[in-house]
Structure 1
Amino acid sequence: MTASVTTERDGRRGDGGALTESWDDPPPSAGGPVARALAPLRRLGRWLVEEVAADRERWVLWGPVGFGTGAALYFALHAEPPWWSGLAAVGGAAVLLIGLRRWLAAAILALAGLVVALGFLVAQAETARVAAPILTRELAGAEVTGRVMAVERRPGAVRLTLRDPTISRLNPEETPKAVRIRISDRHPPPAPGAMVRLRASLSPPAPPAEPGAFDFQRRAFFMGLGATGFSVGGAETIEAPPVTGWSRVAVWFEQARGHIAARVAATIADPVEASVTAALLNGEEFAIPDATMDAFRFSGLAHLLSISGLHVGIAAGILFYVVRALLALSPWIALRWPIKKIAALFGILSALAYTLLVGAPLPTVRSVLMTGMVMGAIMLDRDPLSMRLVAFAGLVTTALDPEGMLGPSFQMSFAAVVALIAVFERISEPMAVWRRGFGWFGQSLIYVGGIVLTSVIATLATLPFSLFHFQQIAFYGVLSNMIAIPITSFWVMPWSLVAYALFPFGWEAPAVIAMNWGDRAVIATAVFFAGLPWSSITVPAMPVGGFVAVVLGGLWLCGWTRPWRWLGLVAVLGGLASPALVARPDLLVSGDGKLVGVRTASGRLSLSAKSPGRTGETWLQRDGTPQAADSWPVSGGGADGRLSCDALGCVYRLHGRSASILRLPDALDDDCGATDAVIAAVSARGCRAPLVIDRWRLRREGAHALYVTPDGVRADSVRDHRGDRPWTASRP
């Protein structure tokens, strides 16, 4: 029996560590039928161990994966675990690790459990840290007083975030820490940091539109928002002490963002171009009109408007080379000072300043961490680009905002970076050898080819996340990015840095105008590709299980270097195919019962309202259909015979079963005993139907998805899907 596994790698024998007792096959004469039957399993085990041992340099990359898995497990729970559960898991894993430290394979498993437990504990601790009251009922005409911490300019409106508000008709212990209120742009917006008073209608943060849809209620909980609403009047500024501490810094940057938006609007006459230019300078994309945002989204260029790693990396890189070039102009300084390291320090500072100016969104924080490590590696004379860099950034970003890990910004930005580094790890050396001897023309072709390859890799890497979160495919994303990214990199961002330098002196107009020329080209690119046939299509929502398979398969594919990494491709393809294996609901009911959707014989949804609002748009988007089927008949039968209506309500029939959708409560007596399910926006207590979804059930459980089968009608609610957690407090 051997105590280690030896592997062949690069023509040399190496010790892979004592991962197992022995995987040597027994001699043919040894053992009986059982031993011979287990021989293939032993060979498979030996192969797996050899692969793991040969890739031991990549083991560290799975630390952030385990940490994120622990956080994801916490959010997947249907009930809040005891406060001590995370500590107990970490302590138990640590004790197990100490006890098994002499057996490498067992110790590695115990270490993996410890990392997962740490992710669980950090997510649980973050939930406890941000916990604050959430509004549980609607308040009409409430008087709200609070300090303005954010001013978001939108088409026709301004959205204010008020911190530490006081709200009439709410006790202090019921009052949220922050509320978000929309006011008309007819009223002058208050300055950031001002104390204001206004009268507003407030509502709890919106729960998911259907089971499995985006959970804004959870995101608002971790943002500290306990209510949202609108005000028909303006905000009155009142006297209050000035802000202090870190809040003062946050207010200063918020004021700077407003100052930039105002100066850009004064310089650029076209409001669309001004909103895009301002978004790239201050991170506020809310003012961009919906039609322009759709053009960027359908053309695959929406990431250019969301301040992310691309912008931070370009800004830091430009300043790095500019500072280094300026210092090199002096031979005395160049020969005596470490100008490359000084330039790297300026790159770090520029990335930090840019992040604070644009409001520190999660992708920007990730990019700042990576940029800081790249520049730090330059200062320490180390290799600045590696997968370990991404792993460290992922670990820190997840620890800072565990819930943000579940969002598309985090996932898509990391997916693109991980895929790009994984590919260029394998092709950089061959490309360096291949490009030697090329002249300027050949180098130009290689550069263009690099842009094409980068666009293809990033598009393919982010495609599964776009399918899961947005149910959308932009077919011309590679082509549009080939045009827009060079314009952004070599024209827009350099001029933006010049504009930043000139804003304090009021001389920014020429730089903003020059920057806008590039923005105009990017907008034209987005509009052109969005207008092409089949520029974008929607597909049915991917189930969570399929999405998990894609993520784990992609990580497996990029995380290892040995041939077994290709097993991850099987999981990715299986996850991408999963939407075809999941049936969409036959009926959908909104959380307030005012909107109902039924599936027609064509497979499309028919909605009960002509203007379904955001809830209906979410249903159609997750259904993979851009438009609803014909609206409901006022009376009589629908086109396909499944739906029939009269003045009191409608009846949906499928597979010999029926569901009654009431318009008036007068139909309760007849329908409760005649149909398999009753859906009503009013109270239906006492109804004897097998399934009753009324006002009270909707208030407790949220939106419902119904599946009609020959055996009956099955219901799945938002509460069934996400359970009872601190951010899911149901209304009384």
Structure 2
Amino acid sequence: MTAQQRAAGPVGVRADPRKALRSLGRLQETALEERDRWALWLPVILASGIGVYFALPTEPPGWLGAAAATLAAVIALLGLRRPALFLLGIGGLSLSVGFAAAQWRTAAVAAPVLQRDLGPVGLSGRVVKLERGQGRVRLTLEQLDVDRLETAATPARVRISSSGTAAADLAPGDWVRGLAVLQPPPEPAAPGGYDFARRAWFERLGAVGYSLGAPQPIAQPPDQLAESRRFEGWRLFWEGLRQRIAERILAVLPRERGALAVALTVGKRDAIAPDLLDAMRDSGLAHLLAISGLHIGLVAGSMYLGLRRLLACWPFVALRYPIKKWAAVAGLATAFVYLFLAGATIPTQRAFLMVGLIFLGVLLDRSAVSLRLVAWAAAVVLLIAPESLLSASFQMSFAAVVALVSGYEAYAERRARRDVARLREGADPVWRKPAAYFGSLLLSSGIAVAATTTYAWYHFNRFAWAGLAANLAAVPLTAFVVMPAALLAFLAMPFGLEAAPLWLMGQGLGLLIVIARETASWPGAVQLLPALPTWGLVAVTLGGLWLCLWRRAWRYAGVAVIAVGLSGVLLRTPPDLLISSDGGLIAARGPDGDLALSESRRQTFVREQWLRRAAQAAAASWPPAGNWLLCDGAGCIYRRHDWTVALARSPAALLEDCKDADLIVAPFPVPRGCFTSGSDGPRVIDRFDLWRDGGHSVRLYEEGLKVDTVRSTRGTRPWTRHPSD
């Protein structure tokens, strides 16, 4: 090879700068051709700023978001005559606004959080929410007075569980006093697991627990009179109305059908039997139980279409007045009422906003379905409640809506051309409209399932293979029978005539139950999936957005990004050991990859979380057959990759474990004397480590071990609780 060839590099790999420039030029041309879609990415950048805030290990300075937004705004102003600089400033402004909104929201909802277990302790407060079901009732109380707690340390809200008979006569707005055991909101069951404490922070829920005995009604404290008036003027009205509607529904419909009807009308799911809830989940129909865009859209849409058709039958009105806009106003008002009947939760607020924008489009003679509408709705929701970005409901609902609207836009022009051709051919056959409906239902269900599967995988570690078939039968039933009957029942209740529409609703719900249980019983109807890393979900989201928000061929690059995100499950190494925060429950992974759990009855929630993330329906036996886990009365010895881990149950085991083990796990303090020769002794995870850092996970590699803790993965944030070191 000549010197010139060596300088040029390997044969066939020579870079051509001109070709690279041409490729870059084509990308720039494509981007310019899609400039009408650039605005759709602003909510994505806004969400990225929120995501950055929640991903930080420590709480940033309060001024950081506002300062960054100011700087980005200055850059955008300086770039008014320079497009590249202007776009950089606008992008930075969107990112900074999202970050600042999350900071502001975190500070706005700040309230005391219980730092340690407390009780039994006397407390009094006002009932703001009741959730009844399965012989228990959960009471959410505010305006609290807790014995042995100073006012500055008293949570804004607590949630306690009580027996159903004990709280049978209570209603929202009642003042009660009782004896309860209170605990801080629970931390994740394992590093990287679901963080209920973060959700509780944004709900201003500072403690959870259970009551001892029946909470007793008391008179309203005089110093709470003004606050109570505000409460009774709005929240008490709607909460009381929800309770009365639920009671009237249950008085007409049998238990299972009535429980589903209450869930679909007023959003109270606590009366649904566990086996029915499992059937709905395993059949892929659980989304029907959470009031969202589907339900609000069906109720408001039924009012819109019904009123419009009714007014169209009156020629004097139909020919002189904008009955379409009148119907849109009625539909919007119906959606507003349904919003508060459903509890005005964040998912229902988001659904109302989406439906409201659609009706606003009708009133302004604009397209009622577009990605711009979805983008505006997402931006408003994220600015109002930035924490919703992390919720499964936000992710799944917007993923489905973006995918469906993108598919609708891609298909709209083709359908228009086809409809013109059919008009020329003459009348359609009778069968074509029903076939087109079920074809569109199949297509839309497939798109929605594909768009939401990864999020169901990430949050619930399961995929319902039978979901597509179940939804094909259940969605038309819900759309044409259940929800229209629910609307008629709402309209008839003031006159005491709700029995007939509720009977019709019950017939539809009976069929829905049959569909759910039948499809859930199919072999392999549900597939358990191992935990997907967060970066994989982010990659799938970005790839899906790239695929849906652009129009030209470069959109298909998003498929490759989605594939990279899904491959994250193959790159993730599951932990070999899991230790609960008190050391009372331990999981060990065997050679076959299954987890064996040390206890079969304790800490049910933690056990379920561990098994779900491991994609196991049940734990392996403890101790199992084989010599990888050997147990006696003093503890167990776990072996993997030439590592020896001692799982001590009593201090008596330490004498031998300190000599032979590489790692000691103990639910009690391990004395420093266990370290026989300084750093050469075994590593220890004892009661002090678990108390300080929460649950632990251990990965044993041939070259070393890696220990993660709940504390290290959560960082130091307002919603995290760290005992003193």
Q: So what's the TM-score if we normalise by structure 1?
A: 0.93
Q: Is the 8 A contact 1:68 1:398 kept in 2?
A: yes
What's 1:380 paired with?
A: 364
What's 1:119 paired with?
A: 98
What's 1:407 paired with?
A: 391
How does 1:710-725 map onto structure 2 within 5 Å? Answer: 710-725=702-717
Q: Is the 8 A contact 2:126 2:176 kept in 1?
A: yes
1:505 aligns with 2:495: yes
SS in 2 for 1:232: strand
What's 1:64 paired with?
A: 43
Aligned length: 695
Which amino acid in 2 is paired with 1:293? L
**Per-residue deviation, 1:231:** 1.1
How does 1:133-532 map onto structure 2 within 5 Å? Answer: 133-187=112-166, 188-240=168-220, 243-245=228-230, 248-269=233-254, 271-435=255-419, 436=422, 437-532=427-522
1:601 aligns with 2:585: no
**Per-residue deviation, 1:36:** 7.2
SS in 1 for 2:229: coil
**Per-residue deviation, 1:711:** 3.0
CA distance in 2, matches of 1:318, 1:431: 25
CA distance in 1, matches of 2:299, 2:489: 12
Which amino acid in 2 is paired with 1:149? V
Aligned match for 2:697, one of 693, 705, 709: 705
CA distance in 1, matches of 2:83, 2:683: 55
Cα deviations by residue, 1:134-192 (Å, 9 ceiling, x for unpaired): 11111121111111000111211111100121111111111110000110112224110
CA distance in 1, matches of 2:259, 2:648: 45
Cα deviations by residue, 1:373-430 (Å, 9 ceiling, x for unpaired): 1111111111111000100110011111111110100000001110001111111232
Which amino acid in 2 is paired with 1:691? R
Q: Is the 8 A contact 1:158 1:189 kept in 2?
A: no
**Per-residue deviation, 1:712:** 3.2
Cα deviations by residue, 1:666-699 (Å, 9 ceiling, x for unpaired): 3234323431211112222424344322222212
What's 1:79 paired with?
A: 58
SS in 1 for 2:213: coil
Which amino acid in 2 is paired with 1:683? P
1:617 aligns with 2:602: no
Unaligned runs of 5+ in 2: 1-7, 676-680
CA distance in 2, matches of 1:513, 1:232: 40
1:658 aligns with 2:644: yes
**Per-residue deviation, 1:209:** 0.7
CA distance in 2, matches of 1:134, 1:454: 44
Q: Is the 8 A contact 2:138 2:162 kept in 1?
A: yes
What's 1:648 paired with?
A: 634
Runs (4 or more) in structure 1 with deviation over 3 Å come to: 32-37
**Per-residue deviation, 1:491:** 0.3
What's 1:109 paired with?
A: 88
Q: Is the 8 A contact 2:465 2:525 kept in 1?
A: yes
CA distance in 2, matches of 1:120, 1:247: 35
**Per-residue deviation, 1:247:** 5.7
**Per-residue deviation, 1:504:** 2.2
CA distance in 1, matches of 2:565, 2:372: 26
**Per-residue deviation, 1:627:** 1.2
CA distance in 1, matches of 2:430, 2:331: 29
How does 1:554-593 map onto structure 2 within 5 Å? Answer: 554-593=544-583
Q: Is the 8 A contact 1:699 1:730 kept in 2?
A: no
Q: Is the 8 A contact 2:395 2:455 kept in 1?
A: yes
Which amino acid in 2 is paired with 1:324? R
CA distance in 1, matches of 2:91, 2:282: 41
What's 1:96 paired with?
A: 75
**Per-residue deviation, 1:338:** 1.5
CA distance in 2, matches of 1:683, 1:579: 36
SS in 1 for 2:684: strand
Which amino acid in 1 is paired with 2:719? W
Cα deviations by residue, 1:61-105 (Å, 9 ceiling, x for unpaired): 001001000001000000001111111111121222223332212
CA distance in 1, matches of 2:703, 2:143: 52
**Per-residue deviation, 1:268:** 1.8
SS in 1 for 2:271: coil
CA distance in 1, matches of 2:400, 2:628: 45
Which amino acid in 2 is paired with 1:252? F
Cα deviations by residue, 1:284-317 (Å, 9 ceiling, x for unpaired): 1122111111101111000001111100111111
Q: Is the 8 A contact 1:600 1:640 kept in 2?
A: no
CA distance in 1, matches of 2:40, 2:451: 18
**More deviation, 547-556/336-345:** 336-345
Which amino acid in 1 is paired with 2:135? G
**More deviation, 704-713/369-378:** 704-713
SS in 2 for 1:699: helix
**Per-residue deviation, 1:457:** 0.6
CA distance in 2, matches of 1:350, 1:731: 49
CA distance in 2, matches of 1:292, 1:728: 35
Identity over the aligned pairs, expressed in percent? 41
Unaligned runs of 5+ in 1: 1-31, 633-637
What's 1:681 paired with?
A: 667
What's 1:49 paired with?
A: 28
Q: Is the 8 A contact 2:178 2:212 kept in 1?
A: no
CA distance in 1, matches of 2:82, 2:696: 51
Q: 1:615–1:99: structure 2 CA closer, same or farther, 3 Å change rule?
A: same
Which amino acid in 2 is paired with 1:507? L
**More deviation, 592-601/665-674:** 665-674
Which amino acid in 2 is paired with 1:268? L
SS in 1 for 2:581: coil
CA distance in 2, matches of 1:94, 1:697: 46
What's 1:17 paired with?
A: none
CA distance in 1, matches of 2:14, 2:320: 72
Q: Is the 8 A contact 1:210 1:704 kept in 2?
A: yes
Q: 1:130–1:685: structure 2 CA closer, same or farther, 3 Å change rule?
A: farther
Q: 1:526–1:36: structure 2 CA closer, same or farther, 3 Å change rule?
A: closer
Cα deviations by residue, 1:618-668 (Å, 9 ceiling, x for unpaired): 111101111111123xxxxx4131111111111111111111112113323
Which amino acid in 2 is paired with 1:459? V
RMSD over aligned CA atoms reads: 1.7
Which amino acid in 2 is paired with 1:232? L
CA distance in 1, matches of 2:627, 2:349: 54
Cα deviations by residue, 1:330-361 (Å, 9 ceiling, x for unpaired): 33222332211111011111111101110122
